[in-house]
Amino acid sequence: MNAKPPRAEAAWPIVGVKDHKAASVFRPEALLREARRQRELPLVAVPEICVLDPDGDVVRHLKRTGVGRVHEGWACYHTELLAFDLDGIGEVGIVGCAVGAPFAVLVAEQLFASGCRLLVSVTSAGQITPIGPTPYFVLIERALRDEGTSYHYLPPATFAEAPDSKLLNRAEQALRGLTGISVHRGPTWTTDAPYRETEAAIASARDLGVLAVEMEAAALYAFANARGRSVICFAHVTNAMAQVEGDFEKGEADGTTATLAVVAAVVRAWSASPRTPGFG
């Protein structure tokens, strides 16, 4: 009996052949339409400026202080959107606890389909390259793509770049005016598996100049580039991956005061500047 020829190995589905320009059959607008119908929600746009708060600290603070109010038109099945007034800027929306690349991009797709024009993500991060005492913020200019979601939006590459370099520069300039808040600019490492941050993986990321490790930025930037959306990501570096006791301290009000100051600075920079064609 003749032996069967070996089967050809299929392309790895995440980085295999994909048509990144092809339209998706399943669209966020369709999901939101059905959610509004089922839940009898009004067709009300979300605020133009929205925030992703993966840790949920800001959302908990807004609820605890009675400042945040549930947005009546947010039709996401998985999350709640709070609206609040930010430092005289106007109404801002915020979604908490959308942790990880797939969840963050799912929410981002739905936010932009619902009227968002600028999305700011501020997530906790672990220190990879020591550049000062924690906590501090990293304005993420590019993110190492060690996750799966970004490959559905852009072809394979080592990093996902911030989608709008002009906006990034303006935000960096605005952030320099903050008092008592340390902000650095540089690359991060986005991983889907925080409990697989091995010594070898950390060393490899450090060799690439990475400052911190987080779980969302690469996917959000890939989405933003593919869709022409305005997204800025920050890593709030609060820990050295629990290698010392007393790690993960964020500062005043669990870091909420500093986080909202960072967001406000970015929003002012965005509002005061002309839009880059293709974004916003």
Strand 212-214 and strand 118-127: the pairing is antiparallel
Express each pLDDT in 208-218 by its tens digit: 999 999 999 99
- Give the type of residue at 159: F
What's the domain range around 85?
28-271
* Residue 108 is assigned to a structural domain of this protein: yes
* Residue 112 is assigned to a structural domain of this protein: yes
Q: What is the CA radius of gyration of the chain?
A: 20
Instruction: Give the pLDDT score at 8.
Output: 47
Instruction: Give the pLDDT score at 272.
Output: 87
- What's the pTM value of the predicted model, to 2 decimals? 0.92
* Residue 218 is assigned to a structural domain of this protein: yes
Q: Are 216 and 54 in contact (CB under 8 A)?
A: yes
How high is the mean pLDDT of the chain?
91
- Give the type of residue at 192: D
* Number of domains observed in the structure of the chain: 1
Q: Are 136 and 240 in contact (CB under 8 A)?
A: no
* Residue 3 is assigned to a structural domain of this protein: no
* Residue 280 is assigned to a structural domain of this protein: no
Express each pLDDT in 96-153 by its tens digit: 999 999 999 999 999 999 999 999 999 999 999 999 989 999 999 999 999 999 999 9
CATH number of the domain to which 172 belongs = 3.40.50.1580
3-state SS class at 221: helix
Question: Over 50: is that where the pLDDT of 44 sits?
Answer: yes
* Residue 97 is assigned to a structural domain of this protein: yes
